[in-house]
């Protein structure tokens, strides 16, 4: 796209904010609620965007060439867009340092340290009173000095102007806001809209007010020099001035190629999560159903529904997804494997495909010709998007009523397909036997139609697991979205957040829930556990214990991870047995559970994961090597990351509530003086 003059080489992506609250409108852009999973996503996203084969590392990182420049955003503690008048432009995220280290900063630290990202974007909001883009401790102190950023820091678009016009931070003028962000370590101001300020046309503040800030002594010329150095070094690494011969031959033939579309299809299929499959309704057997009715507001889904937000330029029509309507209107008599925009055709007996355009929504009798109904529901960009948080976790009322009505009069249980980014309270469907199967498709992109059909008709066995908890709507009445705490607050009556700190009754589908067309069982020989001894080396830290949990605390309750060499590992294998008659993929998630006597610790936390393909009736061995400091470390209330002494637990759960399987073993950790 760059060679064709249709794109640049710097991409302000990925969004790696943790989904703290299920109402957040931008949950669809992110990898979920677990900081470790989000961080691993960030590392792999960035490496895929930036790395040139043979140049993954360099003695001088600032000279390492880049394919494109990625940007991890939005730093930091940003996850309120517009909730009942609390907007991101004025919101002050009051965050405890423990939560900052443990949750809000961790994906960004992984992105910079392990992904070697070339850019980080600071957010609109304030953090404990200070705008994120003007906080020297967060920017130059943490991102650049502590984590070692090799690149530039950019503001979210118009964030510097927001400091003056919206947040009105300290009553700063445009010149003072410009000086503040430059001194804090900002290198680039994304100015998104032309405005007139102080009689001047303004696009971005740094360009407009930077010179005046220097002339008035508000900032130093060296601050400007540093910003320019970081920007131009990134451009040089991209070959912006000298070219990048390795990629100069790329042209339109390399866009939307067969390999690329196959990858998009595989990504969409891997991302599908089977939430319910009562009585094994799915996969559908085309021999059993003569006609299929496709219903619901997304039954004629336009590209915007399929793609979500922030899609690339549709330069080539061959890359656009096919909607229900565009495919269905010319194919009313289809094979049983085909419906609507899904473009999935396979040999089979002819069947009747009944479209919404034939009046189903107005006349129930018409779709009585169908032997099965697939309902495509969910939400869209009117409900969840940037700048708009959700008011509740429910489906639109008309959808709920229509689904229940269709299910009640259908001769067979119906299939419900949900398109959404965030979780939805569909308790009414989960508990209804006439709604036999529920598939969460997310916003599956241009090849998503084929992917959904592949899953529904058994060409692909689903293996996805939920990246976030699906709460019941009652949960949001327990806690305001503006409360930033992750742990429960009994003094306020607030429950905890995410699977790490909430184990209450208002969960519909737990984090990592996901069914398959087969059954997976875990086996491991590590049941007796293991013991690890670490050298304390004078780096002991105090540990918070539950009241009455220990009579006498050990002389060294925990060690400081930052001061330890951290070379010790816990190694083990797990056998993943496919007990069914269908080949399938399965994601093995490894959790650690802190010692039960430790106060304020997570219920459990993801520390590793691998995806494995297992043939029916066979088993696959998956090996893990857990670094003790990383896998068993917790963040104390003092904000130190420590490894606690005592007995922790390694836990693996298959995520299948219909056929649960888990293995666990204890790990006793002690310290030598």
- Euclidean distance between CA atoms 33 and 14, whole angstroms: 15
Quote the CA–CA distance of 134 and 180 in Å, as a whole number.
Answer: 6
Instruction: Report the alpha-carbon distance of residue 420 to residue 440 in Å, rounded.
Output: 8
Does residue 184 surpass a pLDDT of 90? yes
pLDDT digits (tens, 9 = 90+) for 462-480: 999 999 999 999 999 999 9
The pLDDT of residue 662 is 93
Do 258-465 and 518-671 have matching folds? no
Chain CA centroid to CA 60, Å: 31
What would the pLDDT profile of 502-530 be if each residue is shown by its tens digit? 999 999 999 999 999 999 999 998 878 99
Residue 436 contacts residue 328 (beta carbons within 8 Å): no
Mapping DSSP to helix (H, G, I), strand (E, B) and coil, where does residue 357 land? Answer: helix
The phi, psi pair for 503, rounded to 5°, reads -135, 35
The predicted structure's pLDDT at residue 97: 98
Are the C-beta atoms of residues 653 and 662 closer than 8 Å to each other?
A: yes
Least confident of 6-10, 35-39, 253-257, 319-323: 319-323
Q: What is the pLDDT of residue 358?
A: 40
What value does the mean pLDDT take over residues 556-562? 94
pLDDT of residue 320: 62
With 0.85 as the threshold, say if the pTM is over it: yes
Tell me the per-residue pLDDT of 627-654, one tens digit each, with 9 for 90 and over.
999 999 999 999 999 999 999 999 999 9
What are the tokens at 221? 């010329």
Supply the pLDDT for residue 195: 62
> For position 657, what pLDDT does the model report?
86
- Write out the CATH class of domain 518-671: mainly beta
CA angle 451, 396, 508 (to 5 degrees): 70
Least confident of 338-347, 388-397, 568-577: 338-347
Whether residue 60 lies in the annotated active site: no
Residue 48 contacts residue 42 (beta carbons within 8 Å):
no
DSSP state of 219: S
Q: Which tokens belong to 246?
A: 């390795």
Catalytic residue among 116, 156, 223, 560: 156
Q: Tell me the pLDDT band of 340, cut-offs 50, 70 and 90.
A: very low
Which residues are CB-contacts of 578 (< 8 A; sequence separation ≥ 6)? 518, 519, 520, 584, 586, 614, 615, 616, 617, 618, 619
pLDDT digits (tens, 9 = 90+) for 299-328: 876 666 788 888 766 554 456 664 433 333
Token digits of residue 578: 């496919």
Q: What is the average pLDDT across 223-240?
A: 97
179 pLDDT exceeds 80? yes
SS3 category, 139: helix
Residue 60 has pLDDT above 60, yes or no: yes
Least confident of 162-171, 275-284, 401-410: 162-171
- Strands 646-653 and 569-578 turn out to be unpaired
89-133 confidence digits (pLDDT tens) = 999 999 999 999 999 999 999 999 999 999 999 999 999 999 999
Bond from prior residue into 417 cis (ω within 30 degrees of 0): no
CATH number of 7-159+185-191+225-240: 3.20.20.300
Between CA 557 and CA 532 the distance in angstroms is 15
Length of the chain counted residue by residue: 673
Which is it for the CA torsion 244, 250, 254, 259, positive or negative? Answer: negative
Cβ atoms within 10 Å, residue 22: 25
- From 199-203, 324-328, 493-497, the region with the lowest mean pLDDT: 324-328
Mean pLDDT of 36-53: 98
Secondary element (H or E) of residue 233? helix 221-237
- Is it the case that residue 354 has pLDDT exceeding 70? no
The label of the residue with tokens 């820091």 reads 153
Residue 351 structure tokens: 């069947």
Angle among Cα 227, 228, 230 to the nearest 5 degrees reads 65
Position 346 confidence tier, pLDDT thresholds 50, 70, 90: very low
pLDDT at 331 over 60: no
Structure token digits, residue 45: 């996203």
Least confidently predicted of 233-242, 355-364, 539-548? 355-364
Domain boundaries, given as residue ranges, for the chain: 7-159+185-191+225-240, 258-465, 518-671
Q: What pLDDT shows up at residue 56?
A: 94
| Model pLDDT, residue 537 | 81
Contact 325, 300 (CB under 8 A): yes
Determine which helix (DSSP H) or strand (DSSP E) holds 408, and give its type and residue range.
helix 397-409
**Please, are residues 187 and 153 in contact by the beta-carbon 8 Å criterion?**
yes
Lowest-confidence segment of 218-222, 307-311, 550-554 by average pLDDT? 307-311
72-81, 333-342, 411-420, 446-455: which has the minimum mean pLDDT?
Answer: 333-342
Take residue 53 and report the two structure tokens written for it.
């084969």
Rounded mean pLDDT of the chain?
90
Question: What is the separation of C-alpha 429 from the centre of its chain, rounded to a whole number of angstroms?
Answer: 25
CATH architecture of the domain formed by 258-465: 3-Layer(aba) Sandwich (3.40)
Q: How much of the chain exceeds pLDDT 90, in percent?
A: 79
Closest CA to 520 of 471, 461, 467: 461
Of 240-249, 292-301, 419-428, give the lowest mean pLDDT range: 292-301
**Reported confidence tier of residue 180, pLDDT bands at 50, 70, 90:** very high
Comparison of pLDDT for 314 and 134, the residue scoring more? 134
Determine the distance from the C-alpha atom of residue 204 to the mean position of all C-alpha atoms in its chain, rounded to a whole number: 30
CA–CA separation, 575 vs 117, rounded Å?
Answer: 35
Residue 332 has pLDDT above 70, yes or no: no
pLDDT value, residue 361: 40
Q: How confident is the model at residue 194 (pLDDT cuts 50, 70, 90)?
A: low
Q: What is the pLDDT of residues 205-214, one digit of tens each?
A: 898 899 999 9
């Amino acid at each position: 796209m760059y060679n064709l003059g249709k794109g640049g080489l710097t991409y302000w992506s990925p969004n790696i904010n943790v989904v703290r609250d299920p109402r957040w409108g931008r949950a669809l852009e992110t990898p979920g609620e677990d900081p470790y999973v989000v961080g691993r996503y960030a590392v792999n996203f960035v490496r895929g965007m930036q790395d040139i084969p043979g140049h993954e590392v360099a003695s001088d990182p600032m000279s390492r060439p880049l394919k494109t420049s990625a940007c991890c955003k939005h730093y930091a503690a940003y996850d309120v867009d517009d909730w009942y008048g609390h907007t991101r432009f004025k919101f002050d995220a009051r965050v405890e340092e423990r939560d900052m280290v443990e949750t809000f900063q961790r994906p960004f630290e992984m992105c910079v340290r392990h992904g070697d990202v070339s850019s980080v974007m600071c957010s609109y909001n304030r953090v404990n009173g200070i705008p994120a883009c003007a906080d020297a401790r967060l920017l130059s102190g943490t991102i650049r000095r502590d984590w070692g950023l090799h690149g530039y820091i950019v503001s979210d678009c118009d964030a510097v102007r927001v400091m003056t016009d919206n947040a009105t931070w300290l009553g700063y003028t445009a010149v003072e806001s410009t000086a503040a962000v430059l001194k804090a370590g900002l290198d680039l101001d994304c100015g998104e809209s032309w405005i007139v300020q102080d009689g001047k046309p303004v696009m971005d503040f740094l360009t407009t007010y930077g010179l005046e800030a220097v002339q008035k002594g508000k900032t130093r010329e060296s601050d400007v020099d540093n910003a320019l150095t970081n920007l131009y070094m990134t451009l040089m690494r991209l070959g912006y001035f000298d070219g990048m011969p390795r990629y100069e031959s790329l042209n339109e033939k390399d866009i939307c190629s067969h390999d690329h579309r196959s990858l998009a299809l595989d990504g969409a299929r891997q991302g599908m999560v089977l939430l319910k499959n009562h009585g094994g309704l799915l996969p559908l057997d085309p021999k059993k159903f003569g006609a299929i009715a496709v219903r619901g507001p997304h039954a004629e889904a336009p590209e915007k529904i399929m793609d979500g937000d922030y899609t690339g330029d549709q330069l080539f029509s061959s890359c656009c997804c096919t909607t229900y309507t565009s495919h269905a209107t010319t194919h009313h008599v289809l094979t049983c494997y085909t419906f609507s925009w899904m473009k999935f055709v396979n040999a089979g007996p002819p069947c009747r495909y009944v479209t919404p355009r034939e009046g189903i929504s107005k006349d129930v009798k018409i779709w009585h010709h169908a032997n099965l109904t697939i309902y495509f529901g969910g939400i869209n960009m009117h409900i969840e998007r940037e700048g708009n948080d959700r008011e509740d976790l429910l489906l639109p009322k008309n959808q709920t009523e229509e689904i229940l009505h269709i299910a009640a009069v259908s001769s067979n249980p119906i299939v419900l397909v949900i398109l959404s980014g965030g979780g939805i309270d569909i308790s009414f469907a989960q508990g209804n036997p006439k709604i036999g199967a529920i598939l969460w498709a997310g916003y599956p992109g241009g090849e998503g139609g084929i992917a959904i059909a592949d899953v529904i008709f058994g060409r692909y066995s689903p293996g996805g697991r939920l990246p976030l908890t699906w709460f019941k709507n009652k949960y949001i009445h327990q806690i305001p979205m503006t409360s930033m705490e992750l742990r429960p607050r009994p003094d306020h009556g607030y429950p905890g957040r995410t699977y790490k700190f909430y184990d209450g009754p208002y969960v519909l589908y737990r984090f990592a829930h996901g069914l398959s067309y087969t059954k997976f069982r875990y086996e491991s020989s590590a049941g007796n556990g293991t013991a690890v001894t670490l050298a304390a080396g004078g780096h002991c830290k105090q540990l918070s214990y539950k009241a009455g949990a220990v009579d006498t605390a050990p002389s060294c309750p925990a060690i400081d991870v930052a001061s330890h060499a951290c070379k010790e590992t816990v190694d083990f294998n797990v056998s993943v047995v496919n007990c069914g008659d269908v080949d399938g993929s399965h994601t093995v998630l490894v959790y650690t559970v802190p010692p039960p006597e430790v106060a304020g610790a997570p219920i459990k936390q993801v520390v590793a994961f691998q995806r494995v393909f297992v043939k029916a009736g066979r088993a696959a061995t998956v090996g893990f090597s857990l670094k003790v400091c990383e896998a068993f470390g917790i963040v104390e209330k003092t904000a130190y990351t420590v490894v606690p002494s005592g007995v922790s637990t390694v836990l693996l759960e298959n995520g299948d509530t219909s056929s649960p399987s888990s293995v666990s073993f204890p790990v006793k950790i002690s310290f030598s003086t």
